[in-house]
Structure formats: structure tokens, C-alpha cells
Amino acid sequence: MVGIYQTSVEGRYLRANAALARIYGYQSPQELANSLTDIARQLYTDPATRSRFAALMAEFGVVEDFEAQIFRKDGSVIWIKENARCVRDGAGRISYFEGTVEDISVRKAAEAKIRQLATVFDNLRPDAVVTIADRYETLANAVAAAYMNIPVVHVQGGEVTGSIDEKVRHAVTKLSNLHLVSTVLAAER
């Protein structure tokens, strides 16, 4: 889901699509625009974030992959990634900003878990990491171990459930050093 917006330089929403309203926890773009009248203080968890954003926009005219934490309507905090550009008037002055927003909270949480696993592996110093099946936590274990050059043993890989497991299995297979499958069919995958 990609939110699309236009904001004033001063920090008010001029336009927003329904996806941005949903990302931020509002029922409609109108509710979002009426509620968020000071983006720096009401949206960003650190008000200085909007100043950094505006400074980058003024200097470069665009921002790409600008990551920040924001408050949703209910007060919960999420991570977002913004890509935006300045829209200028005929005299070259910035009229407003327009851009896109994506919720990257799941990615940021996964990155944090992988860092935590790396710390655990560094403290334990295992000879190998044994991971079971093809679920998302299996992938995090395999990635952390692979980055630390610890051999990965993948047990019961190759089963098919019809969900994301197929992609995770393929990735874990590429990261693993030894595969211990549960069936002949799984071994053929």
C-alpha cells in the first residue's frame, strides 16, 4: 500500500489519498488533513525530523528513502519511508511538497531481530545453527548465521503449504550448508 500526499512547506496536508489515511490510522483523507495541522509536532515522533526533511528538500529538491518514525492516530508508532519532490512556482520558490509513503515497520522489526540474533550467536559461538521448517523465523536465523559465517543446518525444508513458505524455503535453501528433509518429495524440491 502506497500513500500519496501533497503538503505545504509549513507542514499541513493539502491532499492525501485513502491509502495514506489508512497507513496513518485515519478513516479518510479529509479526517487526516483536518487532524494533522502541524506535521512536525503531530506526526513525527521527533519534531526535528520535519526540519531535516524540509532542509533536504530545499537543498536537493527531492528526497529518496527518507525513513522516520511517526505517530498513527491511535498513538502507536510506525516506521515509514518517504520519497518526495518539491513543486516550485514560476519564480523558483517551493510551493509545496508531494510524495509517497510506505509503512516499513515489518522490515524494521525484522532488521532488529536479525541484529538481536547476531548478538546471541556472537555470544554463544555455536558450531552450527539448526533451523526447522520454512517459516519466517527460520529465514531470520539463516540470515543472521550466514552473515556470521556459521554453518546452517535446515531440517524439514521443502514442505509446501501454499503460502509464503515456498519463497522462504528457497531463500533458506540458498543460505544453508546442510539440508535434512523429511520426505523424498521434499528432497526433490
29-56 pLDDT per residue, tens: 999 999 999 999 999 999 999 999 999 9
pLDDT confidence of 164, banded at 50, 70, 90?
Answer: low
pLDDT at 27 over 80: yes
pTM comes to: 0.74
3-state secondary structure of 114: helix
Residue 160: its pLDDT value, please?
64
DSSP structure string for 77-93: EEEEEEEEEEEE-TTS-
- 26 DSSP assignment: -
Whole-number pLDDT of residue 135: 65
pLDDT (tens digit per residue) in 49-108: 999 999 999 999 999 999 999 999 999 999 999 999 999 999 999 999 999 999 999 889
List phi, psi (to 5°) of 186. Answer: -65, -35
Which positions ≥6 away from 160 have C-beta within 8 Å?
166, 189
* Residues 123-158: tens digit of each pLDDT: 999 999 988 876 667 888 888 898 889 999 988 766
